[in-house]
Structure formats: structure tokens, C-alpha cells
Amino acid sequence: MNEINAQKVNDFLKTRIGARFKTWLKICTHCGMCADTCHFYRANDKDPKMIPSYKVRFLLDILKKKGKVDKEYLDKVYSTVYHECNMCRRCTHYCPFGIDIALLISLLRAMLFDQNIAPEGLRKAIENYRQFGNQMAVTDEDWVDTIQWCEEETAEELVGLTIPIDKVGAKMLYTVNAREPMFYPQDMMEAAKIFYVAGEDYTYSSKPGWDDTNLAMFCGDVKTARTIVENTFKRADELEVQQVGVTE
Ligand code: SF4
Ligand code: SF4
């Protein structure tokens, strides 16, 4: 049974496939020069199905079908764009036309996301970003508690060490992967020691904008991806810092 909204699929792609994408799809000569640059191709005994240009064949096909594809078809797309390409862009550097396969794959991922199809882990992370401003669903309260706990623990080793939070006018807003407060606070402690010894003028933000991962980008959820970046810029602005330190 076709559970897919064909009109939505068609409209989504039609409005996003502009001149650049159309040109790329048209000028690809299927020369295969990109094949050997792809680690998936090489790791799969040079399986022709793993040639980068072949992986984006769905785009023209879906448009030709005016979006009339079924769930089974989209499962194949899913398998290709998530299990056969990690959007490293290596192939782009070797294509004589500079065709950006990763960007085309990203468009397919976005089309799937629009149909509510994405890996479970990414979907959960996106919910967390939307609700908590970070991928691990750390509350603002737990985040600040963790920083303070890191400060206490580290100050036992380096007397006088402090970890600044919301310091207006600091030189740098320091951001982390949300997995650090959740699973690896020792990384934050090590960073605090380095900053202390180096005399670095930095601050953490107590409010969203401190998680520098952007997993929404990987499934083409542009809206959430944009909000994540905006959160950081907003805090950098409010705290009047000169730089943002990104660990990811
Ligand atoms: S993407 Fe570029 S390198 Fe790869 S087959 Fe097409 S034209 Fe050749
Ligand atoms: S962008 Fe995708 S297709 Fe191109 S080399 Fe990387 S993994 Fe292979």
C-alpha cells in the first residue's frame, strides 16, 4: 500500500531542486571518476551500486514519477542515503565538474525527514534540541549544577580555579558536546584546567546555545539546525564575547 503523500514528495523536491542541482544532475557523465574516492565503494569490493553518482539516481527518478513512490521505494532511498554515504564530500573533490554528491544526498535525507523518515536516534536528538536546546535533554538546572560540580572537583587540584558562567565581556564563549555533561564531565574538567593554566578568558552559557553539536543537520531538518546555530549566536551576542569556542 502506498502510504506516502506523493504531492508532498514532489512539491518538496521541486521547490528545492534549483538551477545548480538540476545542472549537476544533467551534466554528470557517469564517468566513474568519483568511484574510487568513496570508502563505501572500496569497502564493498567495488560494488557499482556504491559509486557516488549512482546513489543520487533517486532524485531524477522521483521527479519523473511526480513523487508517486511507495514506502518500499523510500526504504531503498533511506538505506542508500544513511547506510551507503556519510556525506564526507570526498567524491566532490575528484569530480571534474565539482558535482556535490553529499549535498544531493542531504536533499534526499531532507525529503525523507519531511515524510517523517529518519533514524530513531536522530529523531530523538531533534526532539531534545527542540525541547531543551541540546541533544541530550540536559535541563538548564542540571547543566549549571554540572559546571559547578566540575569547578569544585577541579579546584581541589588547582587551588583558585573557577569556571565562569554567563560572564559578560569574556573573550570566548566556550561550547561543548552535550554528551560531556551527561557522560564525560572529566572532559570539561580537563578543559577548565587548561584554560586556568593558560589564563584564558572564557565563559559557559547557562542558557541554550552551549551545545555545539548539530545533529539536525544530518537529516536535513534545516529549521531545527538553524535554531541550534541561532541559540549560540544569540548567547554570544548577549554575553558580548569576541569568539565562540567549538569543540565538535
Ligand atoms: S559525479 Fe562527477 S566524477 Fe562522478 S560520475 Fe558524475 S561526472 Fe563522473
Ligand atoms: S560523499 Fe558519500 S558518496 Fe561521496 S565519497 Fe563520501 S561517502 Fe562516498
Q: With 0-12 CB in 10 A as exposed, 13-18 as middle and 19+ as buried, what is 74?
A: buried
pLDDT-derived band at 3 (thresholds 50, 70, 90) equals: confident
| Residue 39, phi then psi, degrees to nearest 5 | -65, -30
> Residue 194 Cα, ligand 1 centroid: separation in angstroms?
46
CB-CB contact of 35 with 41 (8 Å): yes
Position in ligand 1 atom list of the atom nearest CA 52: 4
Is residue 38 in contact with ligand 1, taking CB distance under 6 Å?
no
Task: Spell out the alpha helix ranges (H) of 96-243.
Answer: 101-114, 120-132, 140-155, 179-183, 185-198, 222-238
Position in ligand 2 atom list of the atom nearest CA 41: 8
| Residue 162, phi then psi, degrees to nearest 5 | -130, 155
CB-CB contact of 137 with 131 (8 Å): yes
CB-CB contact of 147 with 165 (8 Å): yes
> Residue 52 Cα, ligand 1 centroid: separation in angstroms?
8
* CA-closest residue to ligand 1 atom 2: 95
Q: What is the pLDDT of residue 247?
A: 86
Q: Which of the ligands is closest to the CA of residue 27?
A: 1
Q: What is the pLDDT of residue 110?
A: 97
Mean of pLDDT values over 232-239? 98
Give the model confidence (pLDDT) of 45-99 as tens digits: 999 999 999 999 999 999 999 999 999 999 999 999 999 999 999 999 999 999 9
6-16 and 57-64 helices, crossing angle to 10°:
120
Q: Answer yes or no: is pLDDT of 140 > 70.
A: yes
Joined together, the cell numbers standing for residue 95 give: 569530480
Joined together, the cell numbers standing for residue 140 give: 538548564
| Residue 202, phi then psi, degrees to nearest 5 | -140, 170
> Residue 99 Cα, ligand 1 centroid: separation in angstroms?
7
Residues flanking ligand 2, CB < 6 Å: 37-38, 40, 52, 55, 85-91, 101-102
Average pLDDT over all residues of the chain: 95
Q: Answer yes or no: is pLDDT of 189 > 80.
A: yes
How would you classify the pairing of strands 202-203 and 243-246?
A: unpaired
Position in ligand 1 atom list of the atom nearest CA 101: 1
For 3, residues 6+ apart whose C-beta sits below 8 A from its C-beta are 70, 71
> Residue 114 Cα, ligand 1 centroid: separation in angstroms?
28
Position in ligand 1 atom list of the atom nearest CA 29: 7
Q: Answer yes or no: is pLDDT of 32 > 60.
A: yes
Q: Rg (Cα) of the chain, in Å, rounded?
A: 22
